[in-house]
Amino acid sequence: MSLMVAGMLASVAGSLLALATTWVRERHRQRRLAEVIACLPKGSVYIDRADGVRVHVGSADSAAAAEPGDG
The conformation of residue 67, written as its DSSP 8-state character, comes to S
Structure confidence by residue, pLDDT tens digits, 18-71: 999 999 999 998 998 889 888 988 888 888 887 777 888 876 564 455 555 554
Position 42 scores a pLDDT of: 87
pTM over 0.75: no
* 26 SS3 class: helix
Position 4 scores a pLDDT of: 93
- Within 8 A by CB and 6+ apart from 36, the residues are 46, 48
- Give the start-to-end residue ranges of the domains of the chain: 1-39, 42-71
**Average pLDDT value for residue range 3-23:** 96
Instruction: Count Cβ atoms below 10 Å from residue 44 Cβ, excluding itself.
Output: 15
* 68 SS3 class: coil
